[in-house]
Amino acid sequence: MKFDTPATHNPIDQLKVVGKPLDRIDGPLKTTGTAPYAYEQHEAVRNAVYGHVIGAGIAKGRIMSMELEAARRAPGVLAIVTAANAGKLAKGDFNTARLLGGPAIQHYHQAVALVVAETFEQARAAAGLVRISYDRAGGAFDLAAAKKSAVVSEREQPDIAVGDFAGAFAAAPVQLDATYTTPDQSHAMMEPHASIAAWDGDKLTLWTSNQMIAWGRGDVAKTLGIPKENVRLISPFIGGGFGGKLFVRSDALLAALGARAAGRPVKVALPRPLIANNTTHRPATIQRIRIGAAKDGTITAIGHESWSGDLPGGGIENAVQQTRLLYAGANRMMQARLATLDLPEANAMRAPGEAPGLMALEIAMDEMADKLGMDPVEFRIRNDTQVDPEKPERAFSQRQLVQCLRTGAERFGWKKRNPKHGGVRDGRWLVGMGVAAGFRNNLVMKSAARVRLGADGKVTVETDMTDIGTGSYTIIGQTAAEVMGLPLDKVVVRLGDSNFPVSSGSGGQWGANSSTAGVYAACMKLRQVVAEKLGLDAETASFADGKVSAGGRSVALAKAAESGEVVAEDSIEFGDLAKKFQQSTFAAHFVEVGVDIATGESRIRRMLAVCAAGRILNPKQARSQVIGAMTMGIGGALSEELAVDKRLGFFVNHDLAGYEVAVHADVPHQEVIFLDEADDKSSPMKAKGVGELGLCGVSAAIANAIHNATGIRVREYPITLDKLLHHLPAMA
């Protein structure tokens, strides 16, 4: 099915099943512990043995020698895989560094060996007997120091220039020129990177925790140098990814190599200390923002420059992308620069680009409002735009940012905010409110599905779409139920298998909209086949309550399959509507904080997110996504930072004891409001996405609330108490 014209009225608009806050159909499996994750495929994989990954002890250099004999003689050891005996390996399309290093080392904890043994304990003990000597080379580990050598990345983000930014900024009566920094961050998902590999002749089956099955299958095949049809990836349940599992990592490759070497299925899970340095992370940024405005608050010039780093061949953290579209301003300049660093690989993490970009931009907007003496909400509203500021002829398909801000201000009690910073006290706490806009582009990808109608009247959906904890099973089931006129319990959903049609996969906030649109396309084709089998006019037939009706006749849906299963397969392919209309999602985040006047400890008191993100397919699941993102925003604002050892080039706090994410005690009352919206330019579902929007702007709203509470402006995340303590007002 080609989607190249705006959607008209279709079966989804009935909203009998879609749009309802239904419980997750995989909920019972999750709550009873019977959902089989990658490492837990006990029924599918018998007689599996265990692999333990050894990571490099240097950040850059070469392996001079590896002493393996003691490990080989250790009890239970079946095989040891290194670059010397793994055979010829290519580098996958989605990896910056090689997944198995040696003799050259590209980053700290790059995998250099796998020890395979009968038990996990034996593999781990034997790995401790391996002795590796290195020739350490000097490297670049400091973004600030490497900033001067950073270069433009034309492939990802060419420089943007509209009007005369320099002239307009210089002439602006009110100006802001400030620099902000965001740190390296870890995905810190609950389930570690884990895989089980089994060979059957020259065919490999890999159960792995991966968000993008088709990408992963292609990279495994390319890396091993085998035909793609000889690789099967299975990932039915994923315990969190946040972008860290978009691409196959060393656990998957080494499990495959270990299984081939040992002649047995092999299980590999990365220990928590390896995840921060061995896998990907969100890179640190340095951002300079300049805003010039007239005295009435109209922005006349806006400039955003960003610097980030990655290994050679890597990419930028595109922190300027939201600034291109969020606010008006005739004179504009955006630049993103990439420095070469020898730290572990940087790559996508939840809302890549916009999350750190808004951490800076939305503080800058508050600072500018202060300079103008304007309310921060009104300043943002004053500079709203309904068209792409770089291409005014290109309108937004829908844009309800102003409605988000106004609705949020009213619901949150914004009018009670004291504009005098440091002016509200509640016992030992200084109390303040903050606001920030949220923005995330609407991305869509081709997505396919296969649907089967059985004689029992049930419809089974098959697609390689994944569920990373977001509820894909349920919204895909709701889509099929809506289109086929069935209750949700008459739909069976099967996901995460490369034997199924290729879907969009999960990531970038594109998964829900794209994958359900692919299921919609397959179900519409099934409707046509069913109607024809029943001798009904497919164009006028209605599907409801398990029946198909047309021309005065009504026939049970199951009758179409009484002589055999009816199967249909199709995909959604998106045309150029995204070029004609700017498609984005918007939010307004409001936060109230308390700051201890004696210690500088910051505590979130309450939070509100108002989101405009197209049709909400399941409000209960969408709310879960947003409050989870808001919680991640708390960590990003107050605690999350991968501390870099700038001498040796690694992240020091590489576990959940040292890398502090928000926990239950940090999370206050959270409220989420979804504005009524259905975007006919986006897909037949008229949906967009919300999982990343819920994060975008949250940390800045917290920073702005802390400033309102204390009068202290912090431009360096995370906002730890040491950055506040010496600037707090007197306690008396």
pLDDT tens readout for residues 487-543: 999 999 999 999 999 999 999 999 999 999 999 999 999 999 999 999 999 999 999
Provide the pLDDT confidence category of residue 732 given band limits of 50, 70 and 90: low
Q: What is the mean pLDDT of the chain?
A: 97
Per DSSP, the three-state class of 164 is: coil
C-alpha 418 chain-centroid distance:
35
Which run of H or E residues covers position 650? strand 650-651
- Residue pLDDT, tens place only, 629-674: 999 999 999 999 999 999 999 999 999 999 999 999 999 999 999 9
Q: What is the pLDDT of residues 477-500, one digit of tens each?
A: 999 999 999 999 999 999 999 999
Q: What is the mean pLDDT of residues 700-715?
A: 98
Distance from CA of residue 192 to its chain's centroid?
Answer: 16
Rg, Å, the chain Cα set: 27
Is there a contact between 553 and 536 (Cβ–Cβ < 8 Å)?
A: yes
Q: Which two tokens stand for residue 457?
A: 């009247």
DSSP state of 107: S
Residues in contact with 332: Cβ distance below 8 Å, sequence separation at least 6, in sequence order: 160, 161, 162, 163, 165, 301, 302, 303, 324, 389, 390
SS3 (DSSP) at 291: strand
Q: Which tokens sit at 626?
A: 């947003």
Whether the CB-CB separation of 588 and 408 falls below 8 Å is answered with: yes
Percent of the chain with pLDDT over 90: 98
Q: What is the pLDDT of residue 309?
A: 97
Q: How far apart are CA 321 and CA 443, in angstroms?
A: 14
pTM above threshold 0.95? yes
> What pLDDT sits at residue 480?
99
Query: Which domains does the chain show, CATH number per domain?
Result: 2-34+444-579 (3.30.365.10), 353-442+583-725 (3.30.365.10)
DSSP-assigned states of every residue in 235-252: -S--S--TTTTSS--HHH
pLDDT attached to residue 157: 80
Handedness of CA 625, 627, 629, 632 (dihedral sign): negative
Q: What is the pLDDT of residues 402-438, one digit of tens each?
A: 999 999 999 999 999 999 999 999 999 999 999 999 9
Confidence of residue 81 (pLDDT cuts 50, 70, 90): very high
Reply yes or no on whether 410 is catalytic. no
| Residue 395 banded pLDDT, cuts 50, 70, 90 | very high
The amino acid at 169:
F
- Predicted local confidence at residue 516, as pLDDT: 98
Which tokens belong to 15? 């909203």
Question: Could you tell me which residues come within 8 angstroms of residue 203 by beta carbon, excluding any fewer than 6 positions away?
Answer: 230, 231, 232
Euclidean distance between CA atoms 141 and 704, whole angstroms: 30
SS3 352: coil
Coil, strand, or helix at residue 4? Answer: coil
Residues 319, 216: Cα–Cα separation, whole Å: 26
Q: If pLDDT is split at 50, 70 and 90, which confidence band does 153 have? A: confident
The phi, psi pair for 346, rounded to 5°, reads -90, 140
Peptide bond into 376 cis (omega under 30): no
Max distance between CA atoms of the chain, in angstroms, equals 85
- pLDDT category at 156 given cuts 50, 70, 90 is confident
Q: Stretch 226-241: mean pLDDT, rounded?
A: 98
The catalytic residue among 43, 573, 692, 716 is: 692
User: 672: closest CA among 708, 604, 593, 619?
Assistant: 619
E strand intervals along 378-455:
387-388, 391-395, 425-426, 429-441, 447-453
Residue 479's pLDDT is 99
Please give the angle made by the CA atoms of 7, 8 and 11, to the nearest 5 degrees: 100
Q: Which is nearest to 623 in space by CA: 195, 17, 13, 22?
A: 22
Distance, in Å, from the CA atom of 376 to the CA atom of 418, rounded to the nearest integer, reads: 12
Nearest to 529 by CA among 576, 572, 567, 584: 567
Residue 154 scores a pLDDT above 80: no
3-state SS, 437-478, equals EEEEECCCCCEEEEEEECCCCCEEEECCCCCCCCCHHHHHHH
